[in-house]
Structure 1
Amino acid sequence: MSFALHRLPLRLTAGAFILNSGLNKLNLDAESAGGLQQMALNAFPQLEQLSAEDFGQYLAAGEITLGASLLAPFLPRKLVGLGLTAFAASLVWVYLRTPGMTEDDGIRPTQAGIGMAKDVFLLGIGLALLLEKKSATA
């Protein structure tokens, strides 16, 4: 396990963004948590078993944990890359499954979907961290 300077921008930008998102969700009211849960249900119907409040708290805790993990340079890049890839893939899946987020082709974002379509960048960062081959100098 070694620190590589070229990974710093990937981990800092994604980590700070996700950590901030999680911190902002710590005090979600039931209506806001319910709105997020309704979107998530489009892709993951099993989440219906949770109350809106529990969903909001679990989402906040997950984002805080992932964001902090990305910011911790001592954690292995493959581990945090795997976490980010799984998280971002689930966000992209929600985007693709939520009505009104994509154009008729099912991929390109509508005006309403642009905010969620940006999660593809997080997926790219996660894959970059996960798939990077160990080099002789890293």
Structure 2
Amino acid sequence: MKLSTLALRTIPGAFILNSGIGKLRLNAESAAGLQDMAATGIPAVKNLPPQKFGKALAWGEIGVGAALLTPVVSNRLAGLALGGFSAGLLSMYFRNDAMTEADGVRPTQDGTALAKDTWLAAIAVALITSRKK
């Protein structure tokens, strides 16, 4: 694996894996808060009980992080997993008026944390389109 690919996969992979592991112990109130935020981008998640949503989110993050960190998973597959994950995050950003300025693109103070997830989308594109050498 090339050093550039290693950087593209290990840094976000470790971050996402750690985030998922941390969410395994979410209490109902915290899970409900995350669910409310997620519902701004993906309304269907509101149909799940908060605890079930929290577990699904945790295991989803663990799966994406593990895919990025596992060398036998192809760049394309790892990039697709990361792309789906970042699409969900960015849908919350773009569908929540409080996250963007009036132009609908630039982040507000509240939106800065989600706007950084554009980097994950860029990494996903780089992994998906990378060629084996």
**1:23 alignment partner in structure 2:** 21
Higher helix share: 2
- For each residue in 1:51-89, what CA deviation from the matched residue of structure 2 results, as whole angstroms up to 9, or x when unmatched? 000000000000011101101111111000111011101
Q: Alignment identity in percent?
A: 49
**1:76 alignment partner in structure 2:** 74
State the TM-score, normalizing by the size of structure 1. Answer: 0.92
- The offset of 1:41, in angstroms, is 1.0
Give the residue type in structure 1 aligned to 2:30.
S
Q: Which runs of 4+ in 1 moved over 4 A?
A: none
Q: Does 1:60 align with 2:58?
A: yes
SS in 2 for 1:100: helix
Structure 2 residue corresponding to 1:43, chosen from 36, 41, 44: 41
In the alignment of these two chains, the number of paired residues is 133
- The offset of 1:98, in angstroms, is 1.9
1:1-138 equivalent positions in 2, closer than 5 A: 3-134=1-132, 138=133
- The offset of 1:99, in angstroms, is 3.1
State the TM-score, normalizing by the size of structure 2. Answer: 0.95
**Structure 1, unaligned runs of 5 or more:** none
SS in 2 for 1:109: coil
- The offset of 1:97, in angstroms, is 1.0
- The offset of 1:5, in angstroms, is 2.9
Q: CA RMSD in A?
A: 1.0
